[in-house]
Amino acid sequence: MPIHEYRCTQCGHQFEEIIIRSSDADDVRCPECGAKRTERLMSAFSSTGSDKGSACAPSGGSSGFS
């Protein structure tokens, strides 16, 4: 399920909210003060992978950087 990060523009509290339908985003309220004045934040994501080199480098070759 998509979890979005928000910040309340009234009290500054940062929180996460599960948004299933895009219309749910219209009803997001701050859990601290109850205000509907929130802004969606850009979230960092995490990824796991193998230790076999950079995900950006072409497979079997050099990245072109020295």
**Containing structural domain, residue 31:** 3-40
Assigned domain for 9 exists: yes
Between these two residues, 20 and 57, which has the higher pLDDT value? 20
Assigned domain for 66 exists: no
Residues 6 or more apart in contact with residue 55 via CB below 8 angstroms: 47, 49
Phi, psi of 8 (to 5 degrees): -75, 125
Assigned domain for 51 exists: no
Q: How many domains does the chain have?
A: 1
**pLDDT tens digits for 22-51?**
888 889 999 999 999 999 998 776 667 665
Assigned domain for 65 exists: no
Between these two residues, 66 and 4, which has the higher pLDDT value? 4
Assigned domain for 57 exists: no
Assigned domain for 13 exists: yes
**pLDDT tens digits for 2-13?**
889 999 999 999
Closest to 38 in 3D by CA, of 2, 14, 3, 21: 14
Mean predicted confidence (pLDDT) in 60-64: 54
